[in-house]
Structure 1
Amino acid sequence: MINKSAFFTLFSLLICVMGIAQTKVGGVVKDSTGQALPFVTVIFNNSSEGTTTEEDGEFYLQSENDHTELKISSVGYKTEIIPLQQKTNLDLEIVLNEETSSLAEVRILRGKTSKKNNPALDILRKIWENKRSNGVSAFKQYEYKKYEKLEFDLDGIDSSVVKNPVFNGMEFIFDYADTNRISGKTYLPVFINESVSKVYGDNVENEKREDLLGNKNSGFEQNQNLIAAVKDVYDEYNVYNNYIKVFDKSFVSPLSTTGINNYNYILSDSAYIDNKWCYNIIYYPRRENELTFKGDFWVNDTTWAVKKINLNASRDANINWVKELYIEQEFEVLNDSVFLISKDYFQANFSLTKKEDSKGVYAKRTRVFEEYQFNLKKEKSFYDKRAYTFNEDIYKRDKAFWEENRLEKLNSEEEDIYVMLDSLTKVPAFKRIYDLATIAESGYVEFNGWDFGPVYSLFDYNEVEGFRTRVGGRTYFGQHDPWRIEGYLAYGFKDDKFKYGISGKWLLDPRSRLIASAGKRRDIDQLGASLTNNTTDVLGRSLASSGLVSVGDNNKLSNIDLTTFNLEIEPWYNFNVRVGTSYRELSSASPAFSLDYYTNETLAETASEIKQTEISTTFTYTPGRQTSGFGVERNVVNDEEFPTFFLNYSLGLKDVFNSDFDYKRLQFFYDQPLRIGGFGRANASLEAGKTFGAVPLGLLNVVPGNQTYFAMYNSFPVLNFYEFVTDTYVSAHFNHNFNGRLFARIPLLRELNLRELVGVRAVWGEISEENKTLNASGIPLRAPNREPYYEYSFGVGNILKFLSLEAHFRGNYLEIPESRNFAITASFGFHF
């Protein structure tokens, strides 16, 4: 799904700051009784530029061309040709008279309608029989040029907005307001980004490469993370597929082979498009609150290839923050079996509510594809996706470059956007608003070369430290920094101790991403919060800070003194190899908890502190991951869309720096997001590991329990901390979000846009007698070896659009003393 935090930064910012087309028309279409007519075709006469009326009969249409007549048609009604007296014709009221001979055939209804004797369905079946493949997939190799224009606009500009005190000093921006060609509403551009790319692909080798030739934007020139987040709002989609993924939702395509079950279809009109006779079909949803569209498409009568299509998501669709969603595509038919997309337009209106008068933000993308070439084979090395350095020249192309490479020229109003936005970013009031939004997203307060934060960690609480305060910061000169230093200082008011952590990273070779890093940390932490060992994280958020929201006694906390040094490299794209060494000292931080172990065979002597030197080699593979930035740290753009494979081999070295134990540890982790058509999205993960050699409790693999009321990734919410301890384990998790598919069928719940959550998780493990014998902590080392321990859960998501609640149930091992059989967890987040 998208870098949501960066996107919502822009969204929050725009909500806070809250040449003209040649022909504009708008109004309402009614029948002779005054009843509004939905899904009526409205086009400029003798053209293919048109739209369909909304469910309340309203429409708006504009064109860059001069038009003198409007054609309104619907099956069962007489077609009307309306002369346009002016360039702008709004508030039209158009009456369609019924065709008595076909009156019985025209009924626009929700729910199931007859699938027999419907010519639109006959045409739809022809489309399936002659289903087109994307043109580029029909050739061994392909290449083309792609032009992309992204724009964000403030929606609903009226007198109340213009007079708002927040715009003091920025009044000049309203001179640049324009009218949206889809909705007819006034908007104010606040961000524009243009890019030109050359795309290459090899279908035989399954390789793809995209070279950015030029990028131009205004308002946020240096924020490439923001640009990447804006671009990721829009996903690639193919209307011939059964499902169209928009944001993190799977909408049923009107061309889907299952579309008959989700849409009603009406044959509305026919006309010539590019000298091809085409039929016009209107479609609309059979049921409310489902992830479906309404709109129309034109299809050729011989090749059965779609020439044009528009998709307008219903306002009642279960998708957050989006009041309107519109997609428009045009195609070139290369031959009888292959089509090529020539133009793609996407528009979304983001708003806090879906009320008609609510103000929000328009996000628009236009893509134009040209200069197709096929079967020009490249060497395999050409597709090497190894990371590369930031090319500043790409972002500073001159006017001549854009005049030559823009595949769709800007109109005069769009060219003025650059002037307005460049001026706006110099206004102190705008800078203050932008800075506040940046703090809200990143948690850091930006200074010149140094960021203070994260501000969300300023205050915490746990049973050992009592109330705790933490301050920190990091160097930040830009997102392409070749080095970065981060650190924090914390103080506990109960134990009266200072804690700290500091880390440094250096990018030694940008192409191979060879990075050296080192760090030091002295703090209190909750060990065993993850099966995949995380005790080498120098600056990670301390899971000890959960005392205010814990279940039972949450006092099994440890002191950790950690020193690390690592070298990592990316020899292949998204394949990372890291070799590191660490030295850590572990001891109990609470009188009620112990990490003691026996130091001799007679079990007469014990030690309370663990000193351990370790060398580890990890391999991480993340196919499909997309990142932004070329510095020592990169932001992941599509953080919920790619699988992760992780393999770790660790070697404990006894007597090196007074280290206590020899051991070997092997761990594997696999995480896979899943999108299950129209049934929502899921996530599955698998972990496995084994420790060879005798080690004490502090070095064993603790099955991660969760004694808080907050969801923790890949933990077991009904388990207490240290309830199961293993040296060999296999763990699996599966969670599924139905995205409201079931609740949408229940009338009382439909309007709440709630989402159904289910989950199941299990772990099997064992612990050797040798490790049990070594244990002197007083904690029983119990492993789920009799049978796998399992839990299952049911929940409701999207409560108030940001809250999820889940109820978790223990499946077995009910006899364990002080065990819990039930737990509730909450999670917060902004999701579409």
Structure 2
Amino acid sequence: MKSIEKLLILLLTCLLVVASQQANAQTIYTVTGLVTDARTGEPVPFASVALVGRRVGALTDEQGRYVIKAKLLSDSIAVSSLGYVTQRQFIDRERMSQAVDVKLASGGTSLQEVTVRAGENPAFRVLRQVRKNRVTNDRKRLLAYECDNYVKTQVSLTHMSERMRRNPLMKKVNEAMSKHDSIIDSDGHKLLPILVSESVSHYYYRDSPQRKREDVRKTRIKGVAVDDAGLSSQLLGGTNLVNQNFYDNYIPILGKDFASPIGDNWRNWYEFFLADTTQIGDHICYEIQFEPKRPEDLAFTGKAWIDTTSFALCQIETSIGSGANLNYVRKLTIEQELEPTMDTVSTSSGTAGWLPTTIRLLADLTGVGKQSLGLRAEVTLRSSNVVVNKPHPALFYEQPIEPSDTVATDNDAYWRAVQGNLAGSDSLNKADKKALQMIENLRAIPAVKTAEGIGQVLVTGFYKLGKVDLGPYPYLFAVNSVEGLRTRIGFRTNDQFSRNWTFRGYVAYGTLDRRFKYGMEADYLFSRQHWTLAGVKVSDDLERLGLTPELIGGNRIFYALSRFGRYRGAYRNMQKELFFRTEPVRGILLTATIGSRTFNPIFPFHYRISPDMGDLSPLKSDIYDTYWSIEARLARKEKYIMDGNERITLGTKRAPVLTIRYTKGLKSLGGNYNYDRLTMRAQQSLRIGPLGRMSYLLSAGFTPSTLPAPLLFPHIGNPTPLLTFNTFNRMQFYEFVSDRFVAIHVQHRFEGLLFNRLPGIRKLNWRLVANVDALWGSQSKANQDIETFKPLPGGMKPIHFGALDGRKPYVEVGYGIDNIFKIIRIQAIHRLTYLDNGPNGIPVKPFALKASASFNF
């Protein structure tokens, strides 16, 4: 999963900074009563009784009696039953216990005729009509829409075990917090709130071309490890967390794809029951209950209410149980209420699609192991002031999330207006206000402040020290055969230092080579909206051939681990670069660079300066390269949020990311070679329906120039025990070098498709994974002639770079088990081609078991 750093800080801190209080339980509100027929006085069994505006309710029993328990009441209850007029009855929302009897009047409701085929589930006909009428009812049919959104987010700790209560940190929190600081949820669990936020935004959507924009107008937030209201408003405001469209075939949640109960494949995933008809607002609806055919599948349990006239989804309540093959999730529920929109813009006004007006999400998360903490997140979204089919110009949508300059400014009058006009009954209540005070008390505890800092370092890699962040910690220490013990200290400035300037730097020292290394960078940000910046970089450090940060795609952990152990292919690199980057159109990022770099190998290597002279050619080891390059990166559906002066990607929702770069080497700038180089890269994650998810990385490179091997394309091998995607895991470092190549890495995750159906194994939540890695490459004779096999002074044999046969690809395949203990992956890798000894006589080992660890839901 791609990280959102600050949100991950919050989640990790939730697992570090916790306590549950030995406290008096909060009183639960109770409403009881009897529902009878107004004409006969007979009890009405199985009538629906619900709190208006909240998702709390009950059914009457055979004697017509009901009991509702809730931590918060609304101002009335609604009672409905088939054949009766829905009745609303006011209640006293301040009374802890009350009895309310209701008499229902008979009503003549005419429903559309439902034709049931012999032997067919009667719910099937309704579901077929839902899909048939999707063209009319799905919000995607709208040319454009916009609305005001109110979002309330609450995060609390829950499910505290006795073992966790004995933790020293928990004891300190217990001692510091008042014994009256306790909140009990409707399930009887004690909650320790760690975040409460409210946000107001205006959301814009346009269909063709598909564009979205969100202007975050106001946010107020209080929480543990949350200081930046601007970032928080982007993460917790608007539609980032709750915007599921159940008309889609699959609903993406926590990086997984859940089958929709009203998608095209509803019959393959679910069992259905047509329960009753009931009134939802102004609509008479069929109630359809559903549950997965197999509890381990990524599917929902719940109810959907379908309008009997338009066959539109009017309301849906879904939950994901503990049986689903999903990590760290104890429970997850999604509720939506939808209303038809009226097209008042086009000449043919009328219903123009249904939009969700209220969405609620509740997630109970847990860590690894039975004694781990629980985390509860509740998100409520209410929309109003909807305008449809009035698109703005395409350029209007260029900035996907735009916080207001006064987003965090206090304004009590503004929030009172929001509570009255937009938030309604979902605005901050007594429990929320109590939670705010508890968070204030919690953050004042010294132990909590310390844990906040530790959590920040563990998740982001940096420790915030005022205007400067120190780190990243993965690069702090390394031990290898060239440097001995390598120690590195780095920093970067944040937006408290400057909203435009960012400075980065580090210093490293090796105890064996006794050399200092360093890197410095200065960037100036001209525009956030079009992400335009210029910068300069200077570094002098030890690198490994084929494993520069550029070549491995910014994989910070793999790059850090590559500095351990035997450091083959090491060279000293002095690099200077000046770059300019801009995004003139959202999703198209252009970068221009001019720079120089040195290659001074400390492994046995030299090459021919005049290859046409053969063995008589003078030899040389070092290279001085000067160049300029231009790069275009296309990611049209990529979403970003701003974290100070950093831009964090939220991913592309499985759209491809394409990159193309042209590099020109020039002797006129002082370098040793004139050359041309073209590289391309495409990567994407694809949903393959019930078969799981596939991701690929396709790369290619070509240079027609005659160059030493280090300036060509050293292919990224990985002989370490660590499994790393996008490398060749059975290839040695720099075993092969090409001047033209095409490489593809394909990884497929079957999720629980196969293992969910194997008794015994399915309880382990293991997941089958497979991969194929292939490389087609070659090296021209002119480039091969540059290489020499002459011994170096002293008789040392030089390193030889292998070349691939253009007619024979290098191929690896792998298969394995993921999600062992929820974090470990073990995979078998087979090398299928080029099985002879490597170019330097290193024996080829065609098979290996490798492991990796990752956090995945």
Matched, 1:180 2:205: no
Alpha-carbon distance in 1 for matches of 2:727, 2:764 = 29
Structure 2 residue matching 1:748: 3-state secondary structure:
coil
Q: Deviations over 1:756-800 (max 9, x none)?
A: 111112111221111111123551441241222221111211111
Partner Cα separation in structure 2 for residue 229 and residue 275 of structure 1:
34
Q: What is the aligned counterpart of 1:428 among 436, 446, 453?
A: 446
1:338 aligns with 2:363: no
CA shift, 1:239, in A, is: 1.6
After TM superposition, give the deviation of residue 444 of structure 1 in Å: 2.0
Q: Distance in 2 between matches of 1:751 and 1:727?
A: 49
Matching of residue 277 in structure 1 with residue 302 in structure 2: no
Q: Could you list the runs of 5+ residues in structure 2 that have no partner in the other structure?
A: 20-24, 33-44, 60-66, 83-90, 99-116, 342-349, 789-797
Identity value in percent: 26
C-alpha contact 1:532 1:669 (8 A) present in aligned 2: no
Distance (whole Å) between structure 2 residues aligned to residue 423 and residue 714 of structure 1:
47
1:381 to 391, 395, 403: 395
CA-CA distance at 1:242 after TM superposition: 2.1
- Decide which of 433, 436, 450 is 2:468's aligned counterpart: 450
8 A contact 1:2–1:640 mirrored in 2: no
**What does 1:155-304 align with in structure 2 at a 5 Å threshold?**
155-156=158-159, 164-167=170-173, 170-172=176-178, 175=180, 177-181=182-186, 183-219=187-223, 220-222=226-228, 224-225=230-231, 228-229=234-235, 234=241, 236-304=243-311
- Equivalent position amino acid for 2:844 in 1: S
Match of 1:737 among 749, 765, 768: 749
What code does the residue aligned with 1:343 have?
Answer: T
TM-superposed CA distance for 1:127, in Å, is 2.7
Report if the CA contact (8 A) 2:214-2:400 is conserved: no
Deviations 1:193-212 (A, max 9, x none): 22212122332433332222
Alignment of 1:325-364 (within 5 A): 325-334=332-341, 338-352=353-367, 359-364=373-378
Alignment deviations for residues 517-567 of structure 1 (CA, whole Å, 9 cap, x no partner): 2222222222223797579x9x97784854767xxx762222212122212
**In structure 2, C-alpha distance between the alignment counterparts of 1:507 and 1:720, rounded to whole Å:** 40
CA displacement at 1:823 relative to structure 2: 2.9
Aligned residue type for 1:432: T
Secondary structure at the residue paired with 1:394? Answer: coil
Aligned mate of 1:643, from 641, 656, 666: 656
TM-aligned CA distance change 1:481 to 1:754, over 3 Å: farther
Question: Deviation of residue 717 (structure 1)?
Answer: 0.8
2:131 is the alignment partner of 1:128: yes
CA distance in 1, matches of 2:77, 2:631: 68
What SS does the aligned partner of 2:263 have?
Answer: coil
Counterpart of 1:761 in structure 2 is 773
SS in 1 for 2:285: strand
In the other structure, the counterpart of 2:813 is 792
- Alignment match of 1:467 (pick from 469, 480, 485): 485
1:199–1:359 CA distance, 2 compared to 1 (3 A): same
> Shift of residue 275 of structure 1?
4.3
What is the TM-score of this pair, normalised by structure 1? Answer: 0.84
**Is 2:220–2:229's contact at 8 Å kept on the other side of the alignment?**
no
Return closer, same or farther for 1:187/1:480 CA change in 2, 3 Å cut-off.
farther
Q: How far apart in 1 are the matches of 2:708 and 2:663?
A: 16
- What corresponds to 1:14 in structure 2? 14
Retained in 2: the 8 A contact 1:644–1:670?
A: yes
Give secondary structure in 2 for the equivalent of 1:660.
Answer: coil
Kindly indicate whether the alpha-carbon contact (under 8 Å) linking 1:266 and 1:282 is maintained by their aligned counterparts in 2.
yes
Q: How does 1:433-832 map to 2 (within 5 A)?
A: 433-478=451-496, 481-529=499-547, 533=551, 543=559, 546=562, 555-590=568-603, 593-599=604-610, 601-602=612-613, 603-629=616-642, 631-638=644-651, 641-657=654-670, 659-776=671-788, 778-817=799-838, 818-832=843-857
| Shift, 1:165, TM fit | 1.5
2:331 corresponds to: 324
Secondary structure at the counterpart of residue 634 of structure 1: strand
The answer to whether the Cα contact below 8 Å between 2:149 and 2:201 also exists between their aligned partners in 1 is yes
State the one-letter code of the partner of 2:718. Answer: N
In structure 2, what is the Cα distance between the partners aligned to 1:20 and 1:572?
54
**Corresponding residue SS for 1:806:** strand
2:775–2:809 contact (8 Å) kept in structure 1:
yes
- How much does 1:321 deviate? 1.0
- Within the alignment, does 1:44 sit opposite 2:49 as a pair? yes
Secondary structure of the residue aligned to 2:288 is strand
Aligned residues: 769
Q: Quote the Cα distance in structure 2 between the aligned partners of 1:531 and 1:122.
A: 57
Give deviations 1:470-509, integer Å, cap 9, x for gaps.
2222223549742222222222233232222222222134
Structure 1 residues 297 and 184: CA distance shift in structure 2, 3 A: farther
Q: Quote how far apart the aligned CAs of 1:229 are.
A: 4.9
CA distance in 1, matches of 2:384, 2:272: 32
8 Å CA contact 1:625–1:641 kept in 2: the answer is no
Contact (CA 8 Å) 1:315, 1:354: kept in 2 or not?
A: no
**Range 819-828 or range 191-200, more displaced:** 819-828
3-state SS of the aligned residue for 1:280? Answer: strand
Partners of 1:620 and 1:772 in 2: CA distance: 32
* AA at the equivalent of 1:188: L
Write out per-residue CA displacement over residues 103-150 of structure 1, whole angstroms, 9 at most, x where no aligned residue: xxxxxxxxxxx9934333343333333336555433333221111112
What does residue 37 of structure 2 align with? none
Q: Does the C-alpha gap of structure 1 residues 368 and 386 become closer, same or farther in structure 2, counting only changes over 3 Å?
A: closer
Aligned residue type for 2:203: V
Classify the secondary structure of the residue corresponding to 2:761: helix
CA contact (8 A) 1:144 1:372 kept: yes
Q: 1:664 to 1:398 in 2, by over 3 A?
A: same
Give the 3-state SS of the residue equivalent to 2:764 in structure 1.
coil
In structure 1, runs of 5+ residues without a counterpart are 27-39, 54-58, 74-82, 91-113
Instruction: From the superposition, tell whether residues 195 and 503 of structure 1 become closer, same or farther in structure 2 (CA, over 3 Å).
Output: same
Give a deviation string over 1:650-698, Cα, whole Å, max 9, x none: 11111533x2111011111111122223332221121111113211011
Corresponding residue of 1:110: none
Give the superposition deviation at 1:175: 4.3
Which whole-Å CA distance do the structure 1 matches of 2:623 and 2:242 have between them? 50
Q: Does 1:306 align with 2:313?
A: yes
Counterpart CA distance in 2 for 1:351 and 1:301 is 40
CA distance in 2, matches of 1:120, 1:135: 20
Task: Give the TM-score taking structure 2 as reference length.
Answer: 0.82
C-alpha distance in 2 between matches for 1:129 and 1:520: 61
> 1:147 aligned to 143, 146, 150, which one?
150
Residue 729 of structure 1 and its aligned partner are, at CA, apart by 1.1
Amino acid in the other structure paired with 2:190: T
Secondary structure, counterpart of 2:298 in structure 1: coil
Q: Is contact 2:234-2:401 (8 Å) kept?
A: no
Specify the code of the residue in structure 1 equivalent to 2:605. Answer: S
Whole-Å Cα distance in 2 between the matches of residues 752 and 622 of structure 1? 37
Q: Deviations over 1:168-191 (max 9, x none)?
A: 56414x64543434x443323221
Over 3 Å counting, the alpha-carbon distance change for 1:412 and 1:508 in structure 2 is: same
In the other structure, the counterpart of 1:35 is: none
